[in-house]
Structure 1
Amino acid sequence: MKGYRYIRRLTGYRFWLFALTLPMPFIFYATRLIFGLVLQNFFNALAEQHQMTVTAWLWIAVLPLSALLRGGISQLLARAQVLHSFSIVGLQQRNLFMHILERPGTYARAAGETISYFRDDTQACRDLLSLLRTVLGQVFFAIVAFIILLRINAEITLLVFLPFLAIIAIIQSLKERLSRYRQVSRSATANLTGAIGEIFGAVQAIQVAGAERHILAHFDGLNQKRLAFMVKDAVLTSTTNALFSNTVDVGVGFILILLAVSQSMTRLGPGDIAIFVSYLGSMGDLVLFFGTLLAQFTQTQVSIERLTSLLRQAPQSKLVEHHPLYLQGTLPEFTVDNKAELQPLETLEVKGLSYRHPESGRGISQISLRLQAGSLTVITGRIGAGKTTLLQVLLGLLPKDAGSILWNAQPVLDPASFFVPPHSAYTPQVPHLFSESLQENILLGLPADAAALSSALQAAVLDEDLAQLPQGLATAIGTRGLKLSGGQAQRTAAARMLVRPADLLVFDDLSSTLDVHTEQLLWQRLLQQPGRSYLVVSHRRSLLQRADQILVLKEGCLEACGSLEHLLATSVEMQLLWQGKLD
């Protein structure tokens, strides 16, 4: 999608609001035209009468009225533009955030870097549209003012457009450099903000490793790079703006000199001079804003490309899909689908599932499996075998390259929207927690059901930990669950799963940070949950012994499948894993 198509699609969102703001600049500049005509008539009338007449006093009365009219229109324009600008920025941010939620497995940028995209790049189109509206109003003003001034003095009026042509030539010569400087400055800012997010998220690791000096040196290096690029970007932008304004000023000064010369040759009234001065300033603004518009369009193209890079394989049009934004009134209630309307799991079948990471080329190839309701299936293998990738592709967190997924023999066409409660629930290897209370982290918007919450806490072996927390469920757990131990964080994520009705529970190495006793108690309680099926990544012996079937992965392929007893007898890879001879 070209940049202009992207912007056209964006302006179509709440078009009535955009249409409301579009005539405002025209009305504003129409009042400016009227103001200039009032000045002309006032000074000409004053010069002809040589004293204050009734006509002169009437024109004096009209002057503040026209100024007040311009001020009122400016206020209306500002309110409408703010609402429209907020809507188009919010729409892009909403769509971008929704894509990240739908495909979290494809998203690998740091949180701080992402903020730069959400904050800076989504506002580029807003700035461009705001400039476009202003320029359209100024073009209208320039055409009408040109006709009026042409009738007063054709020679002087024609010279108004010389600065305009100079600005276009300057912008075209700087277009490529503006784009390149904006790209590198935005990338440097994203790298710096990303580093800030990573540093705050790894404070303990930095302190334990004694790496403060190294981290500060790295941060300083990123900051210096950003400073250098930002200075280049700012200097070029300021230079072009200075060229715009100075070209306009020189042009206007030159025109006024000609006007003074012309005064000795042709009789121009003081009102004619006043209207020239009044209109030329606004027409000079057109030259300035038109040049800025061309530069802004180039910079907006860069922002659109940066936003598109976050989509990976999704089409660019996804960023400007029209969806409601709830800016006023109450938010819609969060609802959970009724499980009675859904078909309970009987079998889950995967055939020839494949995916390759674009950056590394690694992934999974031709994985097939069959899972029965009420069973425990464990996926195991050495580090980098593709275990987590298999789960993410199955759940739709990564887009499959090939293969099919069937739920009760029916194809699953959109795994990302299908494998959510009440069909499935998932806990990743690294739990995602928020700086809220323990209860809010578990419920995440669900209405508080004391019985369901208590059952989830008991099954996740969190009931005893509550007594150690100062405020129980109301305890704030800190950024990313910093106040919890690794095991508590994993069990909090498990409780989040269990409080929601789901047939299939998917765990990615849930018990990796648990002690032996807690791990055994956790799985004992989990496997007692009625109506649940389990798909688990693990290398723990206790869980492998409980498994109904085990999938052994090696270099992204299914090496072997079967019971533990069968695999220990037939699979060399399983034997090495069992003996602890592989990572």
Structure 2
Amino acid sequence: MKQWLWYFNLWKNFPGLLGILFLFTIVSAAVSVAFPMFFKLLLDSLSQNLTTENPDFSVSTFVIAAIVVGGVKFLVSFYPHCRAYGNLLLENRVRTLYFSYILDKEPDFFQKFRTGDLVTRLTEDLSGHPKVAWFGCSGIFRAINSLGIVGSCSAMMIYLSPELAMISLLPLPLAVITFVFLKEALNRGYEEIQKCISHTNNHLEMCFSGVRVLKACLGEERESRRFTRVLQDRIYSELEMTRLSTRMNLFYEFVSQLAQVIVVVAGGFMVLQQEITVGIYFAFFSYLSMIVYPMLDIPFLLVHSSQAFVCVDRLEEIRLSHRSERLPEAVSSGKISSLGLDSVSYTWPSVGNADKSQAHLSDLTLKIRESERVAIMGKIGSGKSTLLNLLAGVIRPDSGTMLLNDKPVNQEGLSLLRQKMGYIGQEPLVLSGTINQNVKFLRNYDQEAISEAARQSQFLPDVKKFSDGFEQEIGQRGVSISGGQKQRLTIARALISRPEILLMDDVTASLDAENEDKFWTEVEMLPYRPMMVIVTHRQATAKRANRVIMLQDGRIKAEGPFEELRAKSSEFRALLEEESRGEA
């Protein structure tokens, strides 16, 4: 029932189209009934009175009636095109709506839903037969139209000959009974197919995203074998569904042919006994021929609804998973004087059989002041990136409080934080398009601001080497530029907004020592003094900070100025030695 309510709410956005489709449905059913009745009257008239005193009047009447009915039937032929248009409108509406839901989700949502799976749900689950959009318009209105045709034709058959109608319609309910027994098997089979499609897309996305590493490790044959196994699972699922559908369709054909045989035998006998006229016999056979496939459309509404409802549930899983609220517009005049955490703990959602009990951050308290530069250091897995995500407001703490200007962060405060913040992730996010488009990132900045940000990030010398400069196309995910250039591009993207808070996750890892030194020199010369939090493994970067925080197992193990910390903390010295060996 909830899926029908979902479709009802969807159609409320298109009341005009809904009215047109209902009008076409009524007219289509009426025309379907009119044609056999027209020929029934014509045949009966010819058989009863081959010679008439006024033949011109009779002929002209039938000709006019035929033209009217034919003209209306021609107009009704546009009905399928209206349904196809409705399919496209629904598909576009649903895809846009659920894409906006995805954009509002927190990062832990993407721990559960892989990229390929989300792509499948927004493409494969929506378009085509018998998916969400097709069923929402064509599926429902075909069934309504078929129900109107079956009801009208059955009523006319009963009106013409109740006895023959009862005999001929007797086998048709078997189609519905068959569906009741096969419904659960159809649901399971279709859901399994959709899962296999998602698995296939996940595998392709993972393979193509890491194709360079794959080829460098000579993994082509291994991945080909893995992909073959994935496809075998999908082929098996689709073949099972095809076998089941074929058996069901064959039985439906048998039922329809049986009904027609009954009409031929019983109707012919009744004509010979003069219980019905030739016109009634012709109309009866026409009506039965007309309702065979519409009769199948009605149980197929149930079949298709089950399949479409699986896709609707998969879409609703996106909406209901990991609820989040779209942030209000921030007050641009607000100023950030401090950012902190008070007794915060956080655990990433477990994936697969991962341990759910171990927290990634535990009872962590810190405060970062205006214009302060803080470096976060620690071993891999100590919680550095998680801490940065918490400070950015990207994830919310399981317990404890995030503080902004010494006050708990509300929705407006979080919106202000993100407006005033520049964030540079560990893995540079580069989009297809030009360098200009990547630096602006859907924001309005002039060319002078873009060039200045590129200079500050040490990216300008690279840009000057490109043939098209800032208009250089960098390919899918920046495939035509190096890893260091990607990193410098993302730094420019963060600096262009002149942020009050700058959060950087190991941004100098892709820079050589010379460019690293130049970058920090430029940062120190910025006309504004942003609060900075830098996750780093490099001592040269940590030395530039006013304070270093050492994380160990999700807790603050030590903190203070770099030299002071190195002198007092044996754990910090051990960490530096380990990092030095790694850099070497």
Fold match (TM-score > 0.5): yes
Q: Quick check: 1:250 aligned with 2:234?
A: no
Residue 24 of structure 1 is matched in structure 2 by 24
Q: For residues 553 and 163 of structure 1, what CA distance do their matches in structure 2 show?
A: 76
Question: How far is 1:440 from its partner?
Answer: 1.6
Q: Which of residues 63, 69, 73 in structure 2 aligns to 1:70?
A: 73
Alignment map for 1:313-328 (pairs within 5 Å):
313-314=321-322
Following superposition, the deviation at residue 231 of structure 1 comes to 1.5
Distance in 2 (alpha carbons) for counterparts of 1:416 and 1:253 = 76
Shift of residue 486 of structure 1? 0.6
Query: Which residue of structure 1 aligns with residue 537 of structure 2?
Result: 539
Instruction: Quickly say closer, same or farther: Cα 1:59–1:468, change in 2 above 3 A.
Output: same
Q: Find the counterpart in structure 2 of residue 354 from structure 1.
A: 345
Match of 1:90 in 2: 92
CA distance, structure 2, for counterparts of residue 266 and residue 352 of structure 1:
95
One-letter amino acid matched to 1:12? K
Specify the alignment match of 1:564 in structure 2. Answer: 562
What secondary structure, in the 3-state scheme, does the structure 2 residue paired with 1:534 have? Answer: strand
Match of 2:276 in 1: 268
Alignment partner of 1:364 is 2:364: no
Q: 1:441 is aligned with what amino acid?
A: N
* SS of structure 2 residue aligned to 1:120: coil
Query: 2:105 aligned with 1:114, yes or no?
Result: no
Deviation at 1:371, TM superposition (A): 1.7
- Secondary structure of 1:512's partner? helix
CA distance in 1, matches of 2:15, 2:556: 53
Per the alignment, in what secondary structure is the counterpart of residue 182 of structure 2?
Answer: helix
Offset at 1:229? 1.5
From 551, 573, 576, the counterpart of 2:574: 576
Distance 1:572 1:278 in 2: 94
Pair 1:126 & 2:128 matched: no
Range with greater deviation from structure 2 (455-464 or 378-387)? 378-387
Partner of residue 344, structure 1? 335
Residues in 1 aligned to 2:536 and 2:7: alpha-carbon distance in whole angstroms: 48
Root-mean-square deviation over aligned CA pairs: 2.9
The question of 1:391 aligning with 2:388 is answered yes
Q: Distance in 2 between matches of 1:513 and 1:337?
A: 35
Matched to 2:538, the amino acid is: R
- Specify the code of the residue in structure 2 equivalent to 1:544: A
Distance (whole Å) between structure 2 residues aligned to residue 410 and residue 475 of structure 1: 45
- Matches for 1:162-241 after TM superposition, within 5 Å: 162-241=170-249
Question: Residue by residue, what CA displacement relative to the aligned partner does 1:195-243 show, whole Å, maximum 9, x if unpaired?
Answer: 2222222222122111111111112221222222222122223332333
Shift of 1:566: 4.7
Q: Is this contact kept in 1: 2:434–2:473, CA < 8 A?
A: yes
Q: Which whole-Å CA distance do the structure 2 matches of 1:417 and 1:285 have between them?
A: 58
1:538-580 Cα distance to aligned partner (Å, 9 max, x none): 2211221122233333333343443334543555543332221
Cα shift readout 1:490-523 (whole Å, capped 9, x = no counterpart): 1111112222343222222212221111112122
SS at match of 1:155: helix
**Secondary structure, aligned partner of 1:580:** helix
Equivalent residue number for residue 59 of structure 1: 62
Which residue does the alignment assign to 2:459?
A: 462
Q: Give the whole-Å Cα distance in 2 for the aligned partners of 1:460 and 1:571.
A: 33
Measure, in 2, the Cα distance between the counterparts of 1:306 and 1:263: 56
Amino acid at match of 1:115: V
Q: 1:551 maps to which residue?
A: 549
SS at match of 2:361: strand
Alpha carbons 1:167, 1:247 under 8 Å: kept: yes
Task: Please state how far the C-alpha of 1:143 moved relative to its aligned partner.
Answer: 2.5
Q: CA contact under 8 A between 1:422 and 1:500: conserved in structure 2?
A: no
Q: Does residue 299 in structure 1 map to residue 302 in structure 2?
A: no
Q: Which amino acid in structure 1 is aligned with residue 399 of structure 2?
A: A
Partner of 2:519: 522
CA positional deviation for 1:467: 2.3
Q: 2:341, 2:403 within 8 Å by CA — same for their partners in 1?
A: yes
- Structure 2 counterpart of 1:68, one-letter code: G
Point out the more displaced range, 157-166 or 413-422.
Answer: 413-422
What residue number does 2:494 align with? 497
- 1:476 aligned counterpart, secondary structure: coil
After alignment, is 119-128 or 408-417 more displaced?
408-417
Following superposition, the deviation at residue 476 of structure 1 comes to: 1.2
Distance between the aligned counterparts of 2:283 and 2:416, measured in 1? 69
**Residues 394 and 415 of structure 1 are in contact (CA less than 8 Å); yes or no, is this contact kept in structure 2?**
no
SS where residue 107 of structure 1 aligns?
Answer: helix
Instruction: Find the aligned partners of 2:2 and 2:323 in 1 and give their Cα distance.
Output: 12
Could you tell me which residue of structure 1 aligns to residue 102 of structure 2?
A: 100
Give the distance between the partners of 1:413 and 1:80, measured in 2 at CA: 48
Q: Secondary structure at the match of 2:363?
A: strand
Code of the aligned partner of 1:3? Q
Tell whether the 8 Å contact from 1:364 to 1:389 is kept in structure 2 after alignment. Answer: yes
The number of aligned residues is 564
How many angstroms apart in 2 are the aligned matches of 1:141 and 1:225?
41
Letter matched to residue 45 of structure 1: S
Does the aligned pair in 1 maintain the 2:17–2:86 contact within 8 Å? yes
Structure (1 or 2) with the larger CA radius of gyration: 2
In the aligned structure 2, how far is the partner of 1:149 from the partner of 1:395?
72
CA distance in 1 between partners of 2:116 and 2:145 (Å): 38
User: What is the match of residue 325 of structure 1?
Assistant: none
Range with greater deviation from structure 2 (465-474 or 494-503): 494-503
> Residues 172 and 398 (structure 1 numbering): CA distance in 2 closer, same or farther, change over 3 Å?
farther
CA contact (8 A) 1:421 1:502 kept: no
Give 1:56 deviation, angstroms.
3.7
Report the 3-state secondary structure (helix = DSSP H, G, I; strand = E; otherwise coil) of the residue aligned with 2:403.
strand
Deviation at 1:421, TM superposition (A): 5.3
- Measure how far apart 1:380 and its partner are: 2.4
Q: Decide whether the 8 Å contact of 1:380 with 1:387 is kept in 2.
A: yes
Partners of 1:452 and 1:499 within 8 A in 2: yes
1:329 maps to which residue?
none
Shift of 1:66: 1.9
Instruction: Name the SS of the counterpart of 2:350 in structure 1.
Output: coil
Q: Aligned AA for 2:43?
A: F
Does the CA-based 8 Å contact 2:157-2:284 persist in structure 1? yes
Query: 1:153 is matched with which residue?
Result: 161
Instruction: In structure 2, list runs of 5 or more residues that go unmatched.
Output: none
Identify which range, 393-402 or 341-350, moves more after superposition: 393-402
Query: Residues 440 and 267 from structure 1, CA distance in 2 versus in 1: closer, same or farther, beyond 3 angstroms?
Result: same
Q: What CA distance in whole angstroms lies between the structure 2 residues aligned with 1:368 and 1:15?
A: 55
Going from structure 1 to structure 2, the CA distance change for 1:351 and 1:421 (only over 3 Å counts) comes to closer
Deviation at 1:97, TM superposition (A): 2.1
- Mapped partners of 2:570, 2:316: distance in 1: 45
Query: Which region of structure 1 is more displaced relative to structure 2, 83-92 or 377-386?
Result: 83-92
CA distance in 2, matches of 1:541, 1:60: 96
Asked if the contact 1:396/1:414 (under 8 Å) is kept, the reply is no
Cα deviation, residue 488, structure 1:
0.4
Report SS of the residue matched to 2:433. coil
Decide which moves more: 481-490 or 462-471.
Answer: 462-471
SS of match in other structure, 1:368: strand
1:410 deviates by 4.3
**8 Å contact from structure 1 (residues 434, 441) kept in 2:** yes
Paired residues of 1:353 and 1:404 also in contact (CA < 8 A): yes
Residue 311 of structure 1, CA deviation: 4.8
Identity of aligned residues (%): 20
Distance 2:416 2:259 in 1: 66
Point out the more displaced range, 104-113 or 190-199: 104-113
Q: CA 1:570/1:37 → structure 2, altered by over 3 Å: closer, same or farther?
A: farther
Higher mean alpha-carbon deviation, 303-312 vs 251-260, is at 303-312
Distance in 2 of aligned mates of 1:207 and 1:253: 64
Structure 1: tracts of 5 or more residues without a match: 322-335
- Note the alpha carbon deviations across 1:379-412, whole angstroms, 9 max, x for none: 2222122222333344343454333323224443
